[in-house]
Every structure is written in C-alpha cells, then in structure tokens.
C-alpha cells in the first residue's frame, strides 16, 4: 500500500539570488577540497603501490606445520586449513555455525518516504517547485527515522528491537598457528546459514511475539505473507572453515600488520589457496580500483563547485526563463571545460610531486603525440591547398 502528499513551494527571484551567492562560497570550498582530495589520492596510490612492491620483495613462504622463532617479525606467507575449536554462536537466538565467523542481519518492515520534485521557472525569476512525497512499506536493514518524514501521521516506524551483529569463533587454528580475531574478521562471510522450524520452536518464549522459520530466516511477526510495520526478518551468513592464505607479520603464533618503509602496513587475508604473488597482484588491482573511484568523486565534486560559482549568472538571467535555460546550459559547459582542465592539472602536479619520473615520461609522451598530431594536420592542410592548384 502507498499514499502520497503533494507540496507546492514558490521561491522569489531575490531569494534565489541570495541562495546562489551563498552557493558561490560553498562552490569555492568544494573546488579546494576536490583539489586536495585528488592530490592526496595520487600520493596514497603511490604509497600503497610502493608498499605492496616492497612487501612482494620481502615476503617469506613458510609452512603451517610449525612456528619458527627465526621468522618472528618478518613478513610471511602461509596457506593452510583454518578451523575454530569453539564455533561462532549467536547466544541471543541460539544459532551457531560450523565455521570461523557468523554474521546476523536484521531487517524490519518499515515506512519509507520517497520524494520526487519538479521545478518550473516563472517570468520574473521566481521558481515554483512541486514535491510529491510517496510513502511505501519496505524491508530495510537500516532503521529509518520516521520523525523526519514530511507527514508523520500514519507513518510511524517503531524502534528496531534487534540489530546486526558479528560473532567470531574461538580457539582458531591454522596448523601450528593461532590466528586472532583480526585475521578472522577479514574473511568474507558469504555462505548462507538457513534456520529451520526446530530452531524457531526453540526460540519461542525467548523473544516477544510470534516467531517462525520462513525461507531460511527467522520471521518475527504474525504472518510472513502479510507483513506489518515492525515485523522483522533475521538471516545468517558465515565464513566456513577451510583453506585460507595469509600474508602478514609473524607475531608469535598470530599474524599482525607489517610496517613497510614506504609507509603502509600490510596484512592480507584471502579464502582459498593463493600464492603470495597472486595475493599481492589482487591487492594491486584493488588499489587501482580505489584510486579511480576517488578520482571520479573528486572530478564530480569539482564540476559541482564550478556550477555553483556560475549559478548566480543563471539566476539573474532567469528573469526571462528561456534566456536562463540557455545560459544554464552554457554554464554547465563552462563548468565541464574548467573541470576538464583543472582536474588533470592537479593530478599531473601530484604525479610530478610523488613520482617525477613518471610525470616526465607522461609529459614527453604527450608532447610527442601533440607534435605528431600538429605535423599530421599541417600535411593535410598543405595537401588540400595543393589539390586545387594541380587541377
């Protein structure tokens, strides 16, 4: 079931100009922050790459069968079967798993407010906005604060009685080693643990209200086919025991962070059997992905900053909406061009700062390409001029 509420608001031309002038300051701050973020990201990427390269050159392969005191403090790589002497258990619901780590996910049936706005510019510079608030019921694992809704009456979400939680197994072993909770926490819990009717029956009387097993999850409510606001679904995933590969500092029979000279600390944990070389290659790929994500965020923030700086001109022109729309498209183009110039410039400066050799190589390569394109364009122009004369 859904219901809607529509609100129409009008903002005068003077008020819009005032807001746009305030936005200029925010836009300047946003551009400064994006420049700092882009510059920092290049340094972070270089430091991580150097740390991984340093670790790949230092790592020592060791067997899991014994703990050699001679490797204490060294960066080591070990692969072996990891298991827990004490199973991870959710005592609150009486659920345990034959694995290394157990994760509980709690969803609650809640009201969700969805907003959709349409804005129309009027002659004279004012702006009319029609906002439609739609209220729907959905499952969500995050508590939704209904007190912030535009219309709270009839759309009240109760407090979430149970929350997500993680449970680690005890007395974990990997051959002769005893990995601690930090190592175990780095293993992904991807395998589903389905609850059954017997487990739901054992839970009755320990929780408030009715409970049953439905689709492999606990259902706290009267009828899973007709959920009500406040009903809950509780599901489980776990990290199974089995082969695990670790790269880290040998600390007694445990593994900890290895401090590199480049600046980063190294502790890599992967399920399955992986060589040290493959683990470092996977970490390098992750570093590349993170670098590009941060670059993209920085570029988008810079574009928004330039758009906010130019927005007062657009608002002034909105006295005649058609002119304002044309100027708005031009402002977006100018913002895009300014971002296309400044963002690469900041990254290039960062390259010269953090990795000058690469910066010089890129600059020389760019110069060669630019010269080649210019030379090719000159030859084509000369050919076009010679063609009529020959005719």
Could you report the per-residue pLDDT of 254-273, keeping only the tens digit for each? 999 999 999 999 999 999 99
Among 340, 278, 334, residue whose Cα is nearest residue 308: 334
Sign of dihedral through CA atoms 307, 309, 310, 315? positive
- Checking if the pLDDT of 369 tops 80, the result is no
CA 296 to chain centre: 12
Among 350, 258, 216, 249, residue whose Cα is nearest residue 295: 350
Could you report the per-residue pLDDT of 287-313, keeping only the tens digit for each? 999 999 999 999 999 999 999 999 999
User: Residues 357-385, buried b or exposed e (16+ Cβ, 10 A)?
Assistant: eebeeeeeeeeeeeeeeeeeeeeeeeeee
Residue 356 φ then ψ, to 5°: -60, -35
Looking at every residue in the chain, the average pLDDT score rounds to: 91
Q: How confident is the model at residue 178 (pLDDT cuts 50, 70, 90)?
A: very high
Q: Cα(257)–Cα(262) distance, rounded to whole angstroms?
A: 14
Question: Which pLDDT score is estimated for 181?
Answer: 93
Give the chain's largest Cα–Cα span: 100
- Checking if the pLDDT of 385 tops 70, the result is no
Could you report the per-residue pLDDT of 116-172, keeping only the tens digit for each? 999 898 888 888 999 999 999 999 999 999 999 999 999 999 999 999 999 999 999
CA angle 124, 129, 132 (to 5 degrees): 165
Q: Cα(268)–Cα(284) distance, rounded to whole angstroms?
A: 12
- Checking if the pLDDT of 366 tops 80, the result is no
Question: Which pLDDT score is estimated for 13?
Answer: 84
pTM, to two decimals: 0.82
Within 186-275, where are the H helices? 197-203
Q: Cα(302)–Cα(307) distance, rounded to whole angstroms?
A: 9
Tell me how crowded residue 160 is: count the other CB atoms within 10 A of its CB: 18
């Amino acid at each position: 079931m859904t219901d809607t509420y529509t609100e129409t608001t009008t903002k005068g031309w003077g008020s819009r100009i005032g807001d746009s002038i305030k936005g200029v300051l925010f836009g300047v701050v946003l551009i400064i922050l994006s420049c700092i973020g882009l510059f920092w990201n290049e340094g972070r990427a270089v430091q991580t790459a150097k740390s991984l390269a340093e670790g790949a050159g230092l790592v020592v392969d060791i067997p899991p069968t014994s703990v050699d005191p001679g490797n204490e403090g060294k960066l080591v790589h070990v692969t072996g079967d990891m298991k827990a002497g004490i199973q991870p258990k959710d005592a609150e619901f009486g659920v345990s798993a034959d694995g290394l780590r157990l994760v509980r996910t709690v969803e609650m049936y809640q009201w969700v407010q969805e907003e959709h706005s349409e804005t129309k510019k009027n002659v004279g510079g004012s702006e009319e906005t029609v906002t439609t608030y739609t209220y729907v019921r959905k499952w969500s694992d995050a508590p939704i604060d209904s007190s912030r809704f535009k219309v709270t009456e009839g759309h009240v979400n109760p407090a979430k009685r149970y929350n997500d939680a993680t449970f680690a197994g005890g007395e974990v072993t990997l051959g002769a080693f005893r990995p601690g909770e930090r190592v175990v926490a780095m293993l992904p819990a991807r395998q589903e643990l389905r609850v059954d009717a017997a487990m739901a029956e054992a839970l009755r009387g320990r929780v408030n209200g009715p409970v049953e097993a439905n689709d492999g999850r606990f259902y706290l409510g009267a009828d899973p086919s007709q959920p009500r606001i406040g009903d809950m679904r509780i599901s489980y995933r776990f990290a199974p025991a089995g082969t695990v590969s670790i790269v880290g500092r040998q600390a007694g029979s445990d593994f900890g962070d290895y401090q590199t000279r480049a600046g980063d600390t190294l502790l890599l944990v992967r399920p399955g059997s992986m060589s040290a070389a493959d683990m470092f290659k996977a970490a390098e790929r992750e570093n590349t992905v993170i670098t590009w994500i941060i670059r993209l965020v920085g570029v988008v923030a810079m574009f928004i900053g330039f758009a906010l700086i130019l927005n007062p001109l657009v608002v002034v022109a909105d006295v005649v909406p058609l002119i304002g729309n044309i100027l708005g498209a031009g402002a977006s183009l100018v913002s895009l061009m300014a971002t296309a110039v400044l963002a690469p410039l900041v990254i290039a400066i960062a390259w010269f700062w953090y990795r000058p050799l690469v910066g010089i190589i890129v600059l020389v390569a760019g110069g060669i390409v630019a010269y080649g394109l210019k030379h090719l364009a000159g030859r084509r122009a000369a050919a076009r001029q010679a063609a009529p004369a020959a005719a």
